[in-house]
Amino acid sequence: MRIGVLGGTFNPPHLGHLVCAQEAYIQLELERVILIPARQPPHKPVEEEPGAEHRLELCRLAVEDDPRFEVSELELNRDGPSYTVDTLSLLHSSAPDTDLYLILGGDIAAGLPDWHEPERVLSLATVAVAKRRGTPREVVEQSLGRLRGGERTRFFRMPRIGVSSTFIRERVRARQSIRYLVPGRVAGYIAEQGLYR
Ligand code: ATP
């Protein structure tokens, strides 16, 4: 069985995350993609953090009507920084026969050598990279090629979507519509709870 793992802050989840998950699902022939919101990403603070519980709920709402996707609380139940290596290790021990695919935007993938235990990350999962914001494939290949296991990296295409969580938060703050940029239920929850104002 092949399972995709898409980690992030999901503050909030948006079209870019979902299209990325969908393209990985299709092109890598995955059985499922799991969204894993981080409690505290090691490399960047959560900007305008509404609370991990809200981010979790937003993820749940984002995938609610799509059986290909699910949400895991794995990182939210763990204190301290959310290291991917720990998450993959837990997923691996709970299902040793499953092939894990770590889905990353190109911008993030190029920085993987600086992560905590990058070669162990690569031993636990195949990295699957979506092209994003013009980070060229060669840059990612060069950077991962220095690591043991990095040569197994897979690439998948996705339509360029210039939407980020930062952009969504800015729109909400400016009282501009986020319709079509996030799933309807996500927009509804943000409005109801008054997030990002
Ligand atoms: P922020 O704007 O708050 O920094 P973000 O939109 O980059 O957030 P994250 O939750 O940090 O979202 O991203 C999680 C993962 O999803 C990363 O691997 C990132 O590269 C990928 N991702 C996010 N937005 C897109 C997009 N528009 N296209 C492709 N991949 C994306």
Residue 69 lies in a domain: yes
Contact by Cβ (8 Å): 2, 128: no
Say yes or no: CB of residue 189 within 6 Å of ligand 1. no
Q: What CATH number is associated with residue 78?
A: 3.40.50.620
* pLDDT for position 81: 85
The protein residue with its alpha carbon nearest to ligand 1, atom 13, reads 8
Q: Is 170 inside a domain boundary?
A: no
What is the spatial order of strands in the sheet that 32-37 belongs to? 69-71, 32-37, 2-8, 99-105, 126-130, 154-156
Do the domain assignments include residue 51? yes
What's the rounded Cα separation, in Å, for the pair 105 and 110? 9
Q: Is residue 189 one of the residues assigned to a domain?
A: no
Count of domains forming the chain: 1
Give the pLDDT confidence score for residue 79 in this predicted structure: 86
In a domain, 123, yes or no: yes
Q: What is the pLDDT of residue 132?
A: 64
Tens digits of pLDDT across the chain (197 residues): 999 999 999 999 999 999 999 999 999 999 999 999 999 878 778 889 999 999 999 999 999 999 999 999 999 988 888 899 999 999 999 999 999 999 998 888 999 999 999 999 999 999 999 976 667 889 999 999 999 999 999 999 999 898 999 999 999 999 999 999 999 999 999 999 999 99
Centre of ligand 1 from the C-alpha of residue 149, in Å: 24
SS3 string, the chain, reads: CEEEEEEECCCCCCHHHHHHHHHHHHHCCCCEEEEEECCCCCCCCCCCCCCHHHHHHHHHHHHCCCCCEEECCCCCCCCCCCCHHHHHHHHHHHCCCCEEEEEEEHHHHCCHHHCCCHHHHHHHCEEEEECCCCCCHHHHHHHHHCCCCHHHCEEECCCCCCCCHHHHHHHHHCCCCCECCECHHHHHHHHHHCCCC
Tell me, in angstroms, the distance from the centre of ligand 1 to residue 11's CA: 9
Q: Which amino acid is at 81?
A: P
What is the predicted pLDDT for the residue at 133? 62
**Is residue 66 in some structural domain?**
yes
Distances (CA, A) of 21 to 6, 46, 78, 86, 168: 7, 21, 24, 21, 19
Nearest atom within ligand 1 for CA of residue 168: 2
**Does this model's pTM top 0.85?**
yes
The rounded distance, in Å, linking the Cα atoms of 25 and 158 is: 11
Centre of ligand 1 to C-alpha 8, Å, is 7
Q: Is 179 inside a domain boundary?
A: no
**Which residues constitute the domain of residue 12?**
2-161
In a domain, 125, yes or no: yes
